[in-house]
Structure 1
Amino acid sequence: MKQQGTGRGHEDDWWRRLYGDGGGAGGGAAGDTGASDAPDTLDDRVASALRALAATGRAAPAPGDAPERPERSDPATGKPPARTAPPPPPAFPTPPAPIPLQATGPGSRPATPRRPVPPPRGAPAGPPPCAPPPDGPEPGPLPAADPAALDELVPDTALDGARYGSLTLRAASRRGDLARHRGDVRRDALLTVRFGSGRHALLLVAVATGPPAGAGAARAARDACAWIGGAVGRSCTRLAEDLRTDQRDALRSGLQRLTDRSYGTLRARAEERGLPPERYPAALRCLLLPADPECRTRVFFGVGPGGLLRLRDGAWQDLEPTAPDHLPRRAPADPGDPPPPGAGRGADGTRSPAEPFLFRTAFARPGDMLLLCSAGLAEPLRQDPAFAARLAAEWSLPRPPGLTDFLTAAQLRVEGHPKDRTAVAVWES
């Protein structure tokens, strides 16, 4: 009992010195119970502690941060007093006071500003660069429309594609910068169709360009594609058989008859519309592609200017009877590739009109790309070596491009070449 009383006496003496009750170091006897005349409530002790700390120049802690002290035992029972649970919060608590943005008072210091995060190594300084400008100008005014002839309107761009057997087809036709600026319709026309099914299917791609002047140019190009498409479709069984059996003479004579008949129909329609027949026909160039993967013969035929080229091993080969200086005068012959017909000669060897019938077959090797195009693309491709090299790089990748990538490459601008462009490419695998 003596030791317990002595411990309580020292404890009460420590509290008296801390709270400034005036007691000395030995103010309590050995058996003293720690009773005092000074108020000894919890609130009084906390207030006294705050006054003592403020006198030393230290920042006062928040009311909830007061230092813990040893629990006092009840003098009668020797057990800690029972804890009282805090009162429950009100049904509708009031919002707490806003937290200050910066501490104030003794010992506080302004917040250190955050350093900006440096850009990663190798990143360009300054704001990110703007998106690259488009390859061509935005379309200008829309072409004038006739309420009674809305079928005369032509969309700015046409895009198509397909895959059969070992070939992948991409086709795009785009209005030229000059026509966009003037609000004229696209004079190039594009037709991609399939006749038959399975191994006996036959693909036809037709590219036509209307005359450079006069009304009805776009209609003339579409009529040329439609008439040759109908003629080939009605003869597709015989043409597909001639392709599989390699009957090239029969193909040449048959396709020339179909082309002549189509042009005869176009001239008759021009007379019905009061147009000069010699100005109405359009340039027309076509590809016949068998869907049979075992038949690798590709047939080109048509009339008028344009381009027929082959991309092999990253280099262009011009398959036309003549070629510009920066391209080979004639592509190396493949087994089974007959020489192109002489300029100005028809299929039967007689003299042809001013625009001779054109015909050529080509044997497709894996990795080849055959390009059929209108004059709007053939001219810069033949006259600008840098443009030809860029297209060769774009289209020599291991896999054929998607539709949008093909269109993007086909419409790359070349100074001084604002015509409509139509391109048909066939990749061989």
Structure 2
Amino acid sequence: MSQQGDRPATTDDWWGRLYDESARDTGPAGTPDDTIDDRFDSAADTLDGGDDVPSTRTYGHAVDAIAVDDDEDDAGDDEDEDEGVGPASRPPAWRESPGGRPVTRTPAPAPAAEPAPAPEPSVPTPAPVAPAPLTPRPRAPWEPPPAAFDPTDPAADPTPPPPPAPPPAAPRDPRATDPRPPAPPPPPPTPAPAARISHVGDSPPTYEAEPTALPAADAEELDQLVADTVLDGARYGTYTLRAASLRGDSARYRGEPRRDALLTARFGAGPGALVLVAVATGARATEGAHLSAADACRWIGGAVGRSHSRLAEDIRAGRRGDLKSGLHRLTDRTYGKLRARAAELGRDPEEYTAGLRCLLLSADPDCRTRVFFGVGGGGLFRLRDGAWQDLEPLVPEPSEMRGAPVVGYGSVPTEQTPKGDRLTMDLEITKAPGPLVEEPVPPPPEPFRFRASVARPGDTLLLTSVGLAEPLRGVPALGDELAARWADGEPPGLATYLADVALRAKGYADDRTAVGVWEA
């Protein structure tokens, strides 16, 4: 209620009276010099310590932009974008708060009766100068404290303080015992592996090391072809087996088939199993030499396979005599079949024959007996303690090869017993003399070879054909190189073993077959 007794003013009347353009300002009368620009200059002097500030005309747009009750807010923002006046060029007093809303400051209202000042001419923008060193500035009361480093704040220092230096270490008493174990010494440098040579001797062999020509083939007899190289291996009990057979350099150059044949077979299972390795070499310079060698391996394999149980038992029991006589009979049967095959082909027995050498190995881990037998040339070697030993059984001279008398050649006459008794009547009939035989007596057959030995851990047994036995005996450098390669006692892989067997020597170009047995 009005104190003068008038009726109370309604909300609409109060709003109209407050914003009536004809009403006189009820605030204190301002002096002619008290304007908005003067108040802005006074506030800037207070905050900046009295330094020179830009002209009030330069920041007139910013003042209009932050007046929340002014109708020209949008126009002021557009002018900021056009003239390049952004937050970075505003005075520090109008810094934006962390919340994103501008801090508003409404200036005091100007007297209504005072006319607006005339527009001043535009002031040209001064040329850019080097910035002066920044000095710390006190924060205004209405500004919130900075939550993090602000690159626009000249008082902020982005460089972190250096870490404190560690305290100096106390001198160590040489008499004190260090509880930590001493550091192990660095391992010695591993020497680079030596390059593997492909031949021994002063000069390389005449022929190339790789195959050149294939043997001729018959469309109706393709089963008679043999491969250039055969490679096999196994491991039983305490030994590791490696076997390889390859054509010689001369046969590879001329396109001749490999005359060496190789057979590896296991008969039985478990500890009673028996492993047979047979190596055969056909007669040199004869037709079908590779076929006779294959027949010899196949027929001795069949004979051993049919008697493998008895042979395995004799080997484990160490019956040397029984083994020698039994294997001798099996070998004779094999050569009997070769002679029969030669008769079928209409050829002489000497042309269709082969040298045969075999190894019998038991699969029982407790049995280390190794049995060798055969007929013909070749080699049997053992590498023990880094040195080679030649185990080839000695062949007796022909004059020493004497057996029981043969009927008609030095035997006792059938008509007289050792006690002098005559079994038949002597009718005193004179017999005509027989024809004179001038042909030379055929040489005695190849003697049967047999050897049974007990292997030691670390031994390497090597059974070879003639093509490798001859260079091993004639070129000491070949044996030295193989001994160096197999010195560690570990069996090589199949590929490595093949490369070792193929190590060449000048003057030796025959087929090579080698069977190696490494004892664990």
TM-score by length of 2: 0.57
Give the structure 2 partner of residue 342 of structure 1: 396
Q: Secondary structure at the match of 1:320?
A: coil
Tell me: CA distance 1:341–1:364, structure 2 relative to 1, closer, same or farther (3 Å).
Answer: farther
Take 1:418 and 1:355, find their aligned partners in 2: how far apart are those partners? 25
Match for residue 199 of structure 1 among 266, 271, 290: 271
Equivalence map 1:27-176=2 (5 Å): 28=55, 32-34=56-58, 69-71=88-90, 137-176=209-248
- Measure the CA separation in 2 of the matches of 1:388 and 1:320: 16
Identity %: 56
Q: For 1:3, what is the secondary structure of its paired residue?
A: helix
Q: Does the 8 Å contact 1:266/1:280 carry over to 2?
A: yes
1:195 is displaced (CA, Å) by 1.2
2:479 to 363, 384, 388: 388
CA distance in 2, matches of 1:394, 1:253: 38
Residues 1:219 and 1:350: Cα distance change in structure 2 (over 3 Å): farther
How far the C-alpha of 1:418 sits from its partner, in A, is 0.8
Secondary structure, aligned partner of 1:317:
strand
Report if the CA contact (8 A) 1:203-1:291 is conserved. yes
Determine the structure 1 residue equivalent to 2:379: 307
Question: Counterpart of 2:241 in 1: which secondary structure?
Answer: strand
Task: Judge conservation of contact 1:12–1:34 (CA < 8 Å) in 2.
Answer: no
User: How far 1:393 sits from its partner (Å)?
Assistant: 1.3
- Residues 400-422 of structure 1 show CA distances to partners (whole Å, capped at 9, x for unaligned) of 11111111111111111111100
Asked if 1:410 is matched to 2:410, the reply is no
User: Judging changes above 3 Å, is the alpha-carbon distance between structure 1 residues 73 and 368 closer, same or farther for their aligned structure 2 residues?
Assistant: closer
CA separation of 1:80/1:289 partners in 2, compared to 1, >3 Å: closer, same or farther?
A: closer
Query: 1:253–1:347: 8 Å Cα contact kept in structure 2?
Result: no
Q: CA–CA distance in 1 between the matches of 2:369 and 2:405?
A: 26
**Corresponding residue for residue 319 of structure 2:** 247
Offset of residue 217 of structure 1 = 0.8
**Structure 2 CA distance for aligned equivalents of residues 147 and 392 of structure 1:** 45
Deviation at 1:310, TM superposition (A): 0.8
Structure 2 Cα separation of the partners of residues 305 and 247 of structure 1: 26
Quote the Cα distance in structure 1 between the aligned partners of 2:397 and 2:322. 20
Q: Is the 8 A contact 2:462 2:516 kept in 1?
A: yes
Q: Report matched runs for 1:254-293 at 5 Å.
A: 254-293=326-365
| Structure 2 SS opposite 1:278 | coil
Identify the residue that residue 42 of structure 2 maps to in structure 1: 3
Q: Does the Cα contact within 8 Å between 1:297 and 1:364 map onto a contact in 2?
A: yes
CA separation in 2, counterparts of 1:348 and 1:293?
A: 39
1:284 Cα deviation from its structure 2 partner: 0.6
2-structure distance, mates of 1:303, 1:285: 6
Q: Using the alignment, how far apart are the partners of 1:315 and 1:349 within structure 2?
A: 41
Amino acid at match of 2:364: D
1:362 aligns with 2:453: yes
Give the match for residue 286 of structure 2. Answer: 214
| Residues 171 and 132 (structure 1), Cα distance of their counterparts in 2 relative to 1, 3 Å cut | closer
Q: Is the 8 A contact 2:466 2:512 kept in 1?
A: yes
Alpha-carbon distance change, 374 to 363 in structure 1, aligned in 2, over 3 angstroms: same
The answer (yes or no) to whether the contact 2:198–2:503 under 8 Å persists in 1 is no
User: Counterpart amino acid of 2:475?
Assistant: D
Q: Does the Cα contact within 8 Å between 2:465 and 2:512 map onto a contact in 1? A: yes
* 1:34 shift after superposition: 2.7
Q: Deviations over 1:338-392 (max 9, x none)?
A: xx56355679689992421111111111111111000111011111111111111
CA distance in 2, matches of 1:212, 1:197: 38
- 1:161, 1:171 within 8 Å by CA — same for their partners in 2? yes
In the alignment, the residues of structure 1 paired with residue 262 and residue 515 of structure 2 have an alpha-carbon distance, to the nearest angstrom, of: 9
8 Å Cα contact 1:287/1:298 also seen in 2: yes
Aligned match of 2:488: 397
Q: 1: CA distance between counterparts of 2:402 and 2:295?
A: 24
CA contact (8 A) 2:44 2:53 kept: no
Structure 2 CA distance for aligned equivalents of residues 358 and 246 of structure 1? 18
Matched, 1:223 2:287: no
Residue 242 of structure 1, CA deviation:
1.9
Q: Secondary structure at the match of 1:252?
A: helix
Alpha-carbon distance in 2 for matches of 1:224, 1:34: 117
The letter of the residue matching 1:239 is L
Query: For this pair of structures, how many residues does the alignment match?
Result: 325
DSSP 3-state at the match of 1:310:
strand
Deviation at 1:150, TM superposition (A): 0.4
Say if 1:245 and 1:134 are closer, same or farther in 2 by CA, change over 3 A: closer
> Aligned match of 2:469 in 367, 374, 378?
378
Q: Note the C-alpha offset of 1:159.
A: 0.8
- SS of 1:353 mapped into structure 2: coil
What displacement does 1:209 show? 0.6
Contact preservation (8 Å) 2:198, 2:504: no
Distance across 1 between alignment mates of 2:88 and 2:278? 98
CA separation in 2, counterparts of 1:364 and 1:302?
19
Cα 1:79–1:404 change in 2 (3 A) is closer
Alpha-carbon distance in structure 2 between the residues aligned to 1:350 and 1:316: 41
Within 2, Cα distance between the matches of 1:347 and 1:360? Answer: 21
Letter in 1 for 2:509: P
> What code does the residue aligned with 1:315 have?
A
The ranges of structure 1 where at least 4 consecutive aligned residues each deviate by more than 3 angstroms after the TM superposition are 5-13, 40-46, 67-74, 78-83, 131-136, 340-352
Whole-Å Cα distance in 2 between the matches of residues 157 and 79 of structure 1? 91
Contact 1:300 1:360 in 2 (8 A): yes
CA gap of 1:341–1:274, structure 2 versus 1, over 3 A, is closer
Instruction: Tell me which residue corresponds to 2:252.
Output: 180
Give ranges in structure 1 of 5+ residues lacking alignment: 14-27, 47-66, 84-121, 123-130, 322-339
Q: State the SS of the aligned residue for 2:382.
A: strand
**Counterpart in the other structure of 1:328:** none
Distance in structure 2 (CA, Å) of the matches to 1:347 and 1:199:
40
